[in-house]
Amino acid sequence: MKKFSYAFLILVLLGAGFFAGSWYRKSEPEKADPSPAKSSTPTPTNTDTVTVTDTNIDTSSLPPGTLRITPEKQQLIGIRTGVVEKAAVEHFIRAVGKVAPDEKRVYRLVAATDGWIRETYNNDTWVLVKKDERLASFYSPLFRTTQINYLSVLGSSPDERYDAGRRQALAPSQLATVSIKTYVDALESLGMSEQQIKELASTRKVTDQVYILAPATGFIIARNVSPGQRFEKGTEWYRIADLSRVWIIGDLFRNEAEYVKPGMKVRMTTLETRKTLNAVLSAVLPQFDANTRTLKVRLEADNPGYILRPDMFVDIELPIQFPPAITVPADAILDSGLKKTVFVDRGNGFFEPREVEAGWRLGNRVEIVKGLEPGEKIVVSGNFLIDSESKLELAAQGMNTALSKDPVCGREISAAKAQKAGRKISYGGQTYFFDSDECKQKFEKEPERYTRR
């Protein structure tokens, strides 16, 4: 039994030693081969960015400045691409507006003669008053004489008026002008309301108090009266604003204002209560603010419950519709001041710098008029780093002085690459280079069309 136990123990030790040796050999690093490794192709020194001449891909059709970036570096520097699309554009212009009274609904009560304020009633600035509500009363000596004349004409017959005219040596043509309407107009011109004139005709009593009435329901925004105050002709007593409908004056940048038209439906939100109301754009004002570099637009809106008060600010949102167009994010365009460039993803890690012509810009979208086609992929993030490496590559290859303009497509291309690809034509004693075989074929069909430019 002991012999069997010793044999089993020896077998276990041998197995453990075998497995330990195996593990040690696997964990020991392999010795480097002293002989240099053989390779049929050289390894680039920069494994992230590879110039177009470092690959076996045919790059003769690629314009100068095109470079290749490995997927690893694209991820590292945060390159993102997007597909160019042509579609109808709906844009919202957002701005801030300020509420103001509608000038057509502001009423100024002005003295038509000299006089004195007798009484004032319970009305202060920013108090809501109703139409025909009494605001104050005043007295003027001219009213007494005019009232007496009005009552005398009102109470006499035509024969009595004629006899009075004869006694005053009035001609018949002059007598015709002496009528009730003449005195009614005189009383109204002095400031007596139609309502009080009717009371005078009904009671036939001369009054020493003429009432100042509210011409409409609204808020008193200015008050310049006090009991016993003497006033002169032209003095403003009250200013009342009907705020049931108000104006909103907004600021738009010049490039935005040209797209808005009177009659547009506008949505606005109050900053304090966050309530949404509708408005209509009534006019783009010929008024420019030199401080904010903006133009003024005027909106008109109903004001239920007097939610909107003068000098209150609101957020304005104007919807703008554009016909189908090619648009790209503004960040995708590199603007040097002399030209605008985007980087087009040509596949296999190649990025081509391409000059484009831009149209309108609203918000973060820019219209591309020339230089891009729907379906192409462009860089929308990380293009600054690509641009810097593209310029370094151009400088390294000495390409800045070896560019030629394709007479068909108008692009700047490498003359050496075009010649190598056979895209060269001599015409009229001048040599022309082409970006693609299609451009070359177009030139061959109509050379005079492209050489006249």
| Domains along the sequence of the chain with CATH | 67-91+324-451 (2.40.420.20), 92-101+246-323 (2.40.30.170), 103-241 (2.40.50.100)
pLDDT, tens only, 297-312: 999 999 999 999 999 9
Q: Is the dihedral of CA 132, 125, 100, 191 positive or negative?
A: positive
Supply the pLDDT for residue 76. 84
Q: At what angle do helices 180-190 and 141-155 cross, to 10 degrees?
A: 160
In single-letter form, the type of residue at position 351 comes to F
Nearest Cα to Cα of residue 310 among 106, 79, 70, 27: 106
Q: Are strands 430-433 and 424-427 parallel, antiparallel or unpaired?
A: antiparallel
The rounded mean pLDDT for the chain is: 80
3-state secondary structure of 238: strand
Tens of pLDDT, residues 364-411: 888 899 889 999 999 888 877 777 766 666 555 554 445 678 888 877
Give mean pLDDT, residues 10-16.
Answer: 57
The reported pLDDT for the residue numbered 224 is: 94
Query: What is d(CA 340, CA 394) in angstroms, rounded to the nearest whole number?
Result: 18
Residue 136, strand partner residues:
120, 212
Q: Comparing C-alpha atoms, which of 296, 267, 299, 261 is closest to residue 280?
A: 299
Look at residue 32 and tell me whether its pLDDT is greater than 50: no
273 pLDDT above the threshold of 60: yes
Is the per-residue pLDDT at 5 higher than 80? no
- Of the pLDDT bands very low, low, confident and very high (cuts 50, 70, 90), residue 78 is confident
pTM over 0.85: no
pLDDT at residue 195 is higher than 60: yes
The pLDDT tens digits of the residues spanning 185-194 come to: 888 888 898 8
Q: How many CB atoms lie within 10 A of CB 255?
A: 10
pLDDT at 160: 44
What is the arithmetic mean of pLDDT over 239-260?
Answer: 91
Mean pLDDT, rounded, for 274-296: 89
